[in-house]
Structure 1
Amino acid sequence: MFTGCASAGAVESPSAPSEAQADDPEPPVVMTTEAATLDDALATADALASDLNNYEDQRAQTTNQLEEATSQALNALENAPSTEAVREATRAWREDWDAVREEVDLLATRYAEVAARTVGYFHHLDAQTANISNADLRAEEQERNDEIHESWRSTASEATHALRTLRANLKNGDDLYVTMLNASLRSGFDTHVERLRALGEETHAALESLESITSEGEALVGSLDEPSSDSSASDDAASSNE
């Protein structure tokens, strides 16, 4: 519908774009897509780093709980003056070992979270690489992706084995409790000290080997628990302006 006084049959010519419109065109859609892709990539890396931090914190907590349980039990058994003291040490071991079990369960959960997150991480890398138009560069990038993926698979396989060792040692700790209980009903418990020491050393070694997941994760996303260079620069700028 026309308005104003234009005569019938007259056709208005389209107005020329203003100078501002000519100099400031709408950004192409691909720029928005690239920005979104960058945000997705950073979010993926940050999420993996967060899961790795949680995993390493739990590994340290599990190690501390194990060391506390075994050291207290060893001290009690080595210095037990009577059968009653052995019974008290046995009761304490049951409680402390149950606490270790809870920490191991949490550690397994944290590891599962990291393992699941890396699936999306490597998928993101491969999907991004597939968008490279230069065939030689695309092949080079994919080779690098495959190399770090294979390294991660190897480390994850070792971690899975270490977790199985932890599970087996939890059962060994349960068996040790039964033998300690038997020892509290009869004289002689020297062998339990050596069994307890061996159990603690083997379990501690398994927990130490699980640190490889943290190290391998740092190879993927960089050092953990450190601010990014961008955030550090922003903090420095803010400090200089104060």
Structure 2
Amino acid sequence: GPLENYEFIIGDEEMNFGWTKMQIIDFLKQQKCSIDNPVKISDVEKEPPVNSKETEVVRKAFDIDFKDPSDLLKRFQDFINECSYNYRKTGNYYAPYTTLIQASGIGKSKLLKKNAEDISTIYCCLRDHNSSGYPPRSYIADALLSRFQNENDALSTYLAYFCACAQKLQEFNGSCKEWFDEHTRENLQEAFWKDVENRMTDIKSKLKNKPTDDEKVV
């Protein structure tokens, strides 16, 4: 079968064919691929991806009108506002974030999508490449889940990600819904996230060249 149907492993780490060329090269270097440490190919094929017809059914279901007989959207927004208020006023929280947890297929992403029609939202899906879930994995996910050189590399990557998204949002002139569609629709998101990646590269370069507090003292 096709190569992507099998696992390619070096040491204990699996190589993913969804990675970019540079990510694969970096992976091979980090794992020190050699005669003594070769690439191992699994004997059993992975589970095949979900049928395209099934994906289309799920996609259409995701795009139908949001039905909210229990006023869930307002209660969700009130909860988010309460979390934000408590973070700013009480000082009892480490960071201004919360989680939305429920079983698969209940409507978590659909609620977030509806919420994004009123509030500017940056949506990023980090699900596995071969996942049958919907919405699909975001184009930017590879950059956010790459193998970082060290802790500072990881921190600068995510800081650059948030800054780049904030820049894009400041420059955007459309509605909240149009903003959400631009970086989540399969036919639109690649161009959006490629621009974010380019901005991230620029921001990370500036962060790398910025002197630390210790260097300033010296």
TM-score normalised by length of structure 1: 0.20
Q: Relative contact order, CA 8 A, sep 6+: which one is greater?
A: 1
Q: Which has the higher helix share?
A: 1
